[in-house]
């Protein structure tokens, strides 16, 4: 069976937010020069040898555990610099793809590092297997694979070798773990900062840059989620008791936070779910 396929996209598949246009795996990459670019998005990931990409006036070396994202219709050139340069590649398009790719932080054609690169490669190899099958609905399954691949790139790809979204969140994992274990207690900003050995001010900066929130916003979300669990598990409990059990010493403040997050009061939540 061939290690590459260019798909025939049906009119129905063209209506999907994402669809596969082609995929190749364990591919010995030749010299490619495209003054007019390529008509769809491409992700090309190196797993052996080395190459170089020229795009947007920049030259990027590409080594194993790196990949290049190419926007459609953007002039580029790439070629082998250390043989054998072997890659997996995937092409995709769709009416939502540019907004999705851009929203995930991939603003232009460039090269990224990938931690857990095998996870990304496995998605492309799965797409090849499905695309070569006789399944009547293979286009829909490939659409889902492309979507999951983009989410993996969001988690595992970064412009710097140690700065992926996943690795950034791992820096805050001790804080998340502390909150999970102590949400029902009084927690101070200093308590949270001490778990990662930084100042409270620096912790707030980390949360802003990584989690796009503040430490106590995350704490409140955890507490409200725990309160909802208690409403289902302990239906006999009063709202005041539930508030205290998840770390709120003021039931009015608990109700205000609950409504801010859920859009309804705790009482309305109970009524809505018959509890």
Give the tens place of pLDDT for each residue, 169-197.
Answer: 788 999 999 999 999 999 999 999 999 99
**Among the three residues 158, 186, 210, which one is the final residue of a domain in this structure?**
158
pLDDT of 249: 94
Report residue 194 as tokens.
């001490």
Q: How do residues 134-154 score in pLDDT, each as one tens digit?
A: 999 999 999 999 999 999 999
Q: How do residues 153-171 score in pLDDT, each as one tens digit?
A: 998 888 876 566 667 778 8
pLDDT of 275: 85
pLDDT of 33: 98
Report residue 218 as tokens.
């995350």
Residues found in the chain: 275
Beta bridge partners of 82: 50
Asked if the model's pLDDT at residue 1 lies above 60, the reply is no
Question: Which residues constitute the domain of residue 43?
Answer: 4-158
Q: What is the CATH number of the domain that holds 207?
A: 1.10.10.60
**Among the three residues 107, 139, 158, which one is the final residue of a domain in this structure?**
158
How far is 131 from 195, CA to CA, in rounded Å? 47
For residues 120 and 235, membership in a common domain is answered with no
The percentage of residues in the chain with a pLDDT greater than 70, rounded to a whole number, is 97
Query: Mean pLDDT score of the chain, rounded to an integer?
Result: 93
Q: Stretch 195-204: mean pLDDT, rounded?
A: 95
For residues 72 and 89, membership in a common domain is answered with yes
Report residue 70 as tokens.
């190419």
Q: How do residues 56-113 score in pLDDT, each as one tens digit?
A: 999 999 999 899 999 999 999 999 999 999 999 999 999 999 999 999 889 999 999 9
Backbone CA torsion sign across 192, 198, 202, 206? negative
Q: How many structural domains comprise the chain?
A: 2
pLDDT of 223: 96
For residues 66 and 183, membership in a common domain is answered with no
pLDDT of 105: 87
With cut-offs at 50, 70 and 90, classify the pLDDT of residue 116: confident
For residues 225 and 91, membership in a common domain is answered with no
Find out whether 89 and 47 touch, Cβ atoms under 8 Å: no
For residues 143 and 22, membership in a common domain is answered with yes
């Amino acid at each position: 069976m061939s290690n590459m396929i260019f798909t025939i996209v049906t009119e129905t598949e063209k209506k999907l937010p994402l669809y596969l246009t082609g995929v190749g795996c364990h591919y010995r990459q030749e010299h490619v020069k495209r003054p007019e670019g390529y008509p769809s998005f491409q992700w090309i990931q190196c797993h052996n040898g080395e190459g170089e990409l020229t795009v947007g006036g920049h030259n990027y070396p590409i080594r194993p555990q790196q990949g290049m994202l190419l926007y459609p219709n953007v002039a580029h050139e790439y070629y082998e610099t250390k043989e054998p340069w072997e890659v997996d590649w995937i092409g995709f398009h769709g009416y939502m793809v540019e907004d999705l790719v851009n929203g995930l932080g991939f603003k232009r054609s460039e090269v990224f590092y990938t931690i857990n690169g095998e996870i990304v490669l496995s998605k492309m190899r799965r797409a090849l297997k499905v695309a070569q099958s006789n399944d009547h609905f293979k286009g829909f399954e490939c659409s889902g694979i492309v979507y999951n691949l983009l989410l993996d790139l969001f988690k595992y790809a970064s412009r710097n070798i140690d700065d992926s979204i996943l690795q950034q969140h791992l820096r805050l994992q001790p804080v998340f773990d502390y909150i999970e274990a102590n949400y029902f207690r009084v927690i101070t900003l200093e308590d949270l900062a001490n778990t990662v050995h930084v100042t409270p001010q620096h912790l707030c900066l980390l949360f802003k840059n990584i989690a796009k929130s503040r430490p106590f916003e995350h704490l409140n979300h955890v507490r409200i989620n725990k309160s909802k669990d208690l409403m289902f598990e302990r239906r006999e409990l009063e709202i005041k008791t539930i508030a205290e059990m998840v770390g709120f010493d003021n039931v009015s403040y608990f109700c205000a936070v609950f409504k801010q997050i859920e859009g309804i009061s705790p009482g309305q939540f109970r009524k809505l779910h018959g509890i």
